């Protein structure tokens, strides 16, 4: 009998746990699960392998791979996986975050709202589309506004669950700026809910992570008022 410490349950084997996680959209960690050898294969070799796998899936589905509209699809999907929608898996693509002295002594909250989120659900490999709202309170340093967008984009470009993505954004900014006073709220639609299964096109998912001063109710309320998200946390 194995124990899943994060959830306090016991399971008979890994497959049972994976099935539960998949059905319930639960993240097992704030760290993206990667193998130790994840980057030993070159991007070119990864694309070649994925191309073969996608072609096999399409052939298994009965598609005519000689058709002009389909024959280039495996290569396009392989390039998209490695160079675009999952590019955030590779540490070489991590944005360099420069911080600067807060010479103008701005001591209030800074909020960057409505940052576009394009990610991919790791359970069904379907899109997650929404907005991230990120804030921090300077403890002596500031960060370029575009870097906040780039951090969101980097962590979004990998197979994700929204809870983990929210935590990763906050933790990265905390590391870069040397402060706990960082917050993030994400409001997003999951096509695994909207286009399959229950097929509820109206629902969206809201997640939040509040660090440092943002754990204070008044500070948290100020942040939520800025982003005009009428949600109780």
Q: Which CATH superfamily is domain 2-93 in?
A: GTP cyclohydrolase I, N-terminal domain (1.10.286.10)
The model's confidence at residue 210, banded by pLDDT at 50, 70 and 90, is: very high
Q: What CATH number belongs to 99-227?
A: 3.30.1130.10
* Annotated domain spans of the chain: 2-93, 99-227
Which residues are tagged catalytic? Answer: 121-124, 162, 190, 192
**Is there a contact between 200 and 193 (Cβ–Cβ < 8 Å)?**
yes
Q: What is the pTM of this model?
A: 0.85
- Reported as a single tens digit per residue, the pLDDT across 23-37 is 555 555 789 999 999
Could you tell me which of 18, 1, 20 has the C-alpha nearest to residue 10? Answer: 1
- Kindly tell me if the per-residue pLDDT of 233 is higher than 60: no
E-only strand ranges, the chain: 2-4, 9-11, 99-101, 109-121, 127-137, 141-143, 159-160, 182-190, 205-210
- Kindly tell me if the per-residue pLDDT of 90 is higher than 50: yes
The model's confidence at residue 102, banded by pLDDT at 50, 70 and 90, is: confident
Distance CA 77, CA 127 (A): 14
Question: What is the model's pLDDT at position 6?
Answer: 38
Residue 149 is encoded by which pair of tokens? 């967008």
Q: What percent of the chain has pLDDT over 70?
A: 86
Average pLDDT of 7-19? 45
């Amino acid at each position: 009998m194995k124990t899943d410490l994060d959830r306090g349950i016991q399971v008979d084997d890994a497959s049972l746990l994976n099935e539960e996680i998949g059905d319930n959209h639960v993240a097992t960690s704030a760290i993206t699960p990667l193998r130790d050898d994840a980057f030993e294969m070159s991007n070119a070799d990864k694309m070649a392998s994925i191309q073969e796998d996608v072609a096999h899936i399409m052939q298994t589905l009965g598609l005519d791979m000689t058709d002009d509209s389909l024959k280039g699809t495996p290569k396009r999907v392989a390039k998209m996986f490695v160079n675009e929608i999952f590019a955030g898996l590779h540490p070489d693509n991590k944005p360099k975050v420069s911080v600067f002295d807060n010479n103008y002594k701005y001591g209030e909250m800074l909020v960057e709202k409505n940052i576009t989120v394009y990610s991919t659900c790791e359970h069904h490999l379907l899109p997650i589309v929404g907005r991230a709202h990120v804030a921090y309170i300077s403890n002596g340093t500031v960060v370029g506004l575009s870097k906040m967008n780039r951090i969101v984009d980097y962590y979004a470009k990998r197979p994700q669950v929204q809870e983990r993505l929210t935590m990763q954004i906050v933790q990265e900014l905390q590391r870069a700026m040397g402060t706990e006073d960082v917050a993030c709220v994400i409001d997003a639609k999951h096509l695994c809910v909207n286009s399959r299964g229950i097929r509820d096109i109206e629902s969206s998912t809201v997640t939040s992570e509040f660090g440092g001063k943002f754990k204070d109710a008044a500070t948290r309320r100020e942040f939520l008022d800025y982003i005009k998200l009428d949600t109780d946390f």
